Amino acid sequence: MRAWLARAYGGPGVLVAGELPVPRPRAGEVLIRVEASTVSAADRRIRAMDFPRGLGLVGRAVFGFRRPRRPVLGVEATGIVVAVGSAVERFRPGDAVIALCGTRMGAHAEYLLLNERAAMVPRPSGMALETAAALAFGGTCARDYLRRGALHPGERMLVIGASGTVGSAVVQLAAAAGARVTGVSSAPNLDLVRSLGAEEVIDYTTKDILATGERFDIVADAVGALDFSRAQAILAEGGRYLAINGSVADMLARPRGSRRCIAGPAAERADDLAALVDLATAGRFRPLIDCILPFEAAVQAHARVDTGRKRGSVVLRLEEQGGTEE
Ligand SMILES: NC(=O)c1ccc[n+]([C@@H]2O[C@H](COP(=O)([O-])OP(=O)(O)OC[C@H]3O[C@@H](n4cnc5c(N)ncnc54)[C@H](OP(=O)(O)O)[C@@H]3O)[C@@H](O)[C@H]2O)c1
């Protein structure tokens, strides 16, 4: 099968197109023919070995000290189950699925092997491939942080990085849950952020978000623009700072009075993925798509992610090249 391989850490140029054997599913595993995936901020972090402050060593321990231990990146995908191992109960060949493979990665290849208990759900017929491909990474992260942040209807929420994959999901899900959302982005993205459900917008290039005099019940920071200490200036009593892109210091931060910091890796849950599918089907959640590129353009896709300016997800589409492996 064709696959993109990161044999070293570095810029998009470390990626090489390669051939790997199609994996065979063992007990409990399903083999998926990938139809579309994304190049995400996580793929960039792993490829570049660039983690928030204090997490570099953890990143190398998890992903490989000198080079990626698993060279095929790609943390989410949609595709068709083409084979299943023994004792698989939830999926059958022919099923269309949406999967979040997370730190196991492997979606930047023609075939992806996952345990049937991974965060994987059926793809509704009629859902666009790009929507299905881009549903999981930002959406599950947003749901997990909103759950841990215990958002209540009517609360004031600031979302920093509101035009990114995670931020755009946080804006939509928080607004749908009844929050009064203020989104932060640069001027060209302000209308987009409003269209996602933000009542107010702030252009961070012309306005200091710490100097607006406003206080928020939740500050979701998908950029790492602040930290828990600096966020004190804009957190209301009982406020929560969601350090989505947080450092070790944020992870270890103790509550300050009634204010607390929430940080760390987001959970990868099939029930969150199923809820996102339901919301998308009902027209209440729309993963934001920056661009759709062919699988062959993975290097270009990584370069787009590296700009830090993408608006939502960069989708990679695979065209079927021949028969399936069953
Ligand atoms: N904790 C977890 O488990 C977890 C899970 C998923 C992701 N993450 C992390 O979350 C971060 C965001 O991921 P993502 O996929 O959303 O990234 P992304 O899509 O690459 O974010 C790009 C967006 O960020 C905006 N941006 C850049 N600088 C900004 C600033 N100073 N203020 C406001 N907006 C700014 C850009 O808008 P402008 O062009 O308008 O500036 C752009 O639209 C990544 O660092 C990722 O590693 C963590």
Burial class (CB within 10 angstroms; exposed 0-12, middle 13-18, buried 19+) of 21: exposed
Structural tokens at position 155: 């609360």
Q: Do residues 36 and 315 lie in contact, with contact meaning Cβ atoms separated by under 8 Å?
A: yes
- Ligand 1 site residues (CB inside 6 A) read 40-42, 45, 138, 141, 160-161, 163-167, 184-186, 189, 204, 222-223, 225, 244-245, 265-266, 308-311
CA of residue 204 to ligand 1 center, whole Å = 14
CA contacts within 13 A on the Cβ side of 96:
13
The reported pLDDT for the residue numbered 177 is 96
CA of residue 166 to ligand 1 center, whole Å = 7
Q: Do residues 203 and 186 lie in contact, with contact meaning Cβ atoms separated by under 8 Å?
A: yes
Residue in 306, 273, 307, 310 with CA at minimum distance from that of residue 292: 310
CA 314 to chain centre: 11
Other CB atoms within 10 Å distance of the CB of residue 131: 22
Q: Measured between alpha carbons, how far is 156 from 137 in angstroms, rounded to an integer?
A: 25
The reported pLDDT for the residue numbered 321 is 64
Ligand 1: residue of 310, 311, 313, 315 to mutate (most ligand atoms within 8 A of CB) is 310
The closest-lying atom of ligand 1 relative to the alpha carbon of residue 165 is: 16
Please tell me the chain's helix, strand, coil percentages from 3-state DSSP, rounded to the nearest 5: 30, 30, 40
The reported pLDDT for the residue numbered 323 is 45
Largest CA distance in the chain: 61
The reported pLDDT for the residue numbered 325 is 42
Structural tokens at position 269: 């849950």
The closest-lying atom of ligand 1 relative to the alpha carbon of residue 313 is: 19
- Whose Cα sits closest to atom 9 in ligand 1? 245
DSSP state of 256: B
CA of residue 189 to ligand 1 center, whole Å = 13
Structural tokens at position 149: 């942040």
β-strand pairing of 313-317 with 29-39? antiparallel
The reported pLDDT for the residue numbered 322 is 53
In 196-295, where do the E strands start and end? 200-203, 216-221, 235-243, 260-263, 289-294
Other CB atoms within 10 Å distance of the CB of residue 236: 16
The reported pLDDT for the residue numbered 324 is 43
β-strand pairing of 235-243 with 216-221? parallel
CA of residue 222 to ligand 1 center, whole Å = 5
The closest-lying atom of ligand 1 relative to the alpha carbon of residue 311 is: 43
Question: Domains in the chain, start-ordered, CATH in brackets?
Answer: 2-135+287-317 (3.90.180.10), 137-263 (3.40.50.720)
Structural tokens at position 306: 């590296």
- Whose Cα sits closest to atom 22 in ligand 1? 164
The series of mean pLDDT values per 10 residues for the chain, 326 residues long, is 97 98 98 98 97 91 94 98 97 98 95 97 97 98 98 97 98 98 98 98 97 95 97 98 95 97 96 98 97 98 98 94 47
Q: Do residues 67 and 9 lie in contact, with contact meaning Cβ atoms separated by under 8 Å?
A: yes
Mutual orientation of helices 41-48 and 56-63 as an angle, nearest 10°? 90
